[in-house]
Structure 1
Amino acid sequence: MTTRTPQELAVPVRGGDLAVTRWPGEGPAVIALHGITGNSLSFGAVAEQLGDIDLYAPDLRGRAHSAGLPAPYGIPAHVEDVLTVLDHLGLRQALLLGHSLGAFTTAVAAARHPDRFPRVVLVDGGLGFPIPGGADIDEVIESVIGPAMRRLRTTFPDADAYRALFREHPAFTAHWGPHIQAYVDRDLTGEPPEIRSSCVLDAIRADGAGPIGDPETLAAIHRPEVRGTMLWAERGVMNEPQGLYDEGRLAAGDLSPDRITTRRVDDTNHYTILFAKDATAAIAEAVRTELKEM
């Protein structure tokens, strides 16, 4: 595993500049899309496993250094932005790697633009299950991602208090380290005593509506154009034994094994699948496998 120094890029998109973190390499390009309340440094530990692969990870519209970008938000907006990133870089195509919400965005982008994103790696996301009509969006999102929605409405006296919230989170407690702290710190905004998350609540609501009720988002992974690997965490968002997926849920999802290879990543949860050493190695292996198919 190699330590890599990231660079910061600004890519002009609708309404301003999209912040993109790049881990430069001489190998093929991969664009990585983070989860609903995440940011580009979600992929710091993964980048170290990827060796010389040229990795680009944007802060999605409404988060971290892209928090100032305007609405409309939602998965179609992220697809538009990632296409702009591809064009800005002068690339004909790239592999897309997405975690959680980023996996759903990845599937939609590949379904809409298979010539630009011919292979994908989906990490603990991408396969959705419709929620009954009339459900409250905030309640549904909070039921899935635990205390994250409450965190977005809370202010903290200083950065240490904000970090402590993550250090004590059941998903992170056993895995805290420099990559997770960097990821947490990138989300910080404001000044003491009113430190808060940079995530724009309207962006979270708009994005969360996709995986729980948007027909195109729910159908994307089943489209014949979407080809790649889906990795899923053994445990859930609070490190509980039940993960977002299991064999039964995958069977109910009726994925085509000819297009999507599925693999459980043991001893990891929804968050640490991006940080635990064995898990990041599994992601890197899937990325290299899919790059060979391009």
Structure 2
Amino acid sequence: MDGAVNDRGAGVHAYRTMDVPVAGGDLRVGVWDPVGDRTDDVLLVHGVTASHLAWPFVVERLAGVRAVAPDLRGRGRSDRLHGAAGMRAHADDLAAALDALGIERMLVVGHSMGAFVAVVFAHLHPDRVSRLVLVDGGLPLDAPAGLDPDALVSAILGPTAARLSMRFADTGEYLDFWREHPAFRDDWTPELERYLAYDLVDDGAGAFRPATSYRTTADDTIDMNTGSALPDALAGLRHPARFLTVPRGLQNETPGLYAPAHLARILPDAPGVSHTAVDAFNHYTIVMSAAGADVVAAVVREELAAARAASAA
């Protein structure tokens, strides 16, 4: 997709990638530069087994906005980074990406695990963040207590984690696997195919595998649910934050990651977070479908306007 152009209405973006030196290697970063005047910047942080190509639907609805989206370490073309992952490591990688682009401060949008990373990033690098948009992630999940690490990952991610150990003959077989996924049966698009094809890498033994390793996913899932980085960040949260939740989960099941009863328990402990329940979407389609991206992009535009107003004041 290098050199690709996204066009929606008046918004045109030229897409490029860059590699940013970080601890343990290079971080792949996607950048969508608006063709014409640039009004704002936004940092987009993807989910636990995703990549920066989860974001084109949202980006094409942000005319005039430069969008920056990394492949988090252990994912996409950042899959060969050495060293442990975890929320703090991801947060430091985001700071390095902004340094490489000469960006001091910007709105940060995180989806799924990326929302947890965004919260920790705002805590560890507060001067780099203006506001937060947290899409179906970022506040504590209703994870069962007392599980061993593998059982915890299975309880939260289920088949999403199991897929990481699978092997595929080629891209076509991988796309066929995903066509049967309940989250995408009604929302299959060329953009989704590009995202999925990008995820597939050579396993070195004549087959292909998802770029994200199970071990990296497990380490991050354990850290965001049982580590100290997230509780510390939420306790010290000082940035305005919008929190969007959807009714359906990773398998299009109900309830989603944030059941109403769980939300009722956790929202009183997050008084600085403004919550909106968004109907009709699942955990994936809220960012990787046209209708879901309409919702997310509208919120992003509102928060960009609020950030400009606060800066002017």
**Given the two structures, how large is their TM-score scaled by the length of structure 2?**
0.88
Asked if the contact 1:59–1:65 (Cα under 8 Å) also holds between the matched residues in 2, the reply is yes
Query: Shift of the alpha carbon at 1:136?
Result: 2.0
Structure in which a larger fraction of residues adopt strand:
2
Partner of 2:306: 293
Distance (Å, rounded) in 1 between the aligned partners of 2:26 and 2:270:
39
Q: Which residue of 2 is the match for residue 264 of structure 1?
A: 277
Tell me which moved more, 222-231 or 73-82: 222-231
Matches within 5 A, 1:100-249: 100-129=112-141, 131=143, 134-190=146-202, 193-249=206-262
Gaps of 5+ in 1: none
Q: How many matched pairs?
A: 294
Moved more, 170-179 or 186-195: 186-195
Q: Secondary structure at the match of 1:254?
A: helix
Deviation at 1:20, TM superposition (A): 0.6
Question: Helix, strand or coil: the match of 2:48?
Answer: coil
In the alignment, the residues of structure 1 paired with residue 14 and residue 189 of structure 2 have an alpha-carbon distance, to the nearest angstrom, of 17
Structure 2 Cα separation of the partners of residues 205 and 169 of structure 1: 22
Aligned partners of 1:130 and 1:218 also within 8 Å: no
Residue 62 of structure 2 is aligned to residue 30 of structure 1 = no
Task: Say what the alpha-carbon RMSD is for the aligned residues.
Answer: 1.9
Letter in 1 for 2:254: P
Partner of 1:12: 21
Larger mean Cα displacement after TM superposition, 30-39 or 195-204:
195-204
Aligned mates of 1:224, 1:248 — CA distance in 2: 23
TM-aligned CA deviation for residue 15 of structure 1: 2.1
Percent identity between matched residues is 35
Amino acid at match of 1:278: A
The TM-score with structure 1 as length reference comes to 0.94
Counterpart residue type for residue 60 of structure 2: E
Q: Tell me, what secondary structure is at the counterpart of 2:186?
A: helix
Task: Measure the CA separation in 1 of the matches of 2:127 and 2:245.
Answer: 26
Structure 1 residues 219 and 252, CA, compared in 2 at 3 Å: closer, same or farther?
A: farther
Deviation string, structure 1 residues 122-180 (Cα, Å, up to 9, x no partner): 00000114746641222222222231211111111111111111111000111010111
**Is the 1:233–1:269 Cα contact (8 Å) retained in structure 2?**
yes
Q: Secondary structure at the match of 2:250?
A: coil
Unaligned runs of 5+ in 2: 1-7, 308-313
Q: 2: CA distance between counterparts of 1:228 and 1:96? A: 10
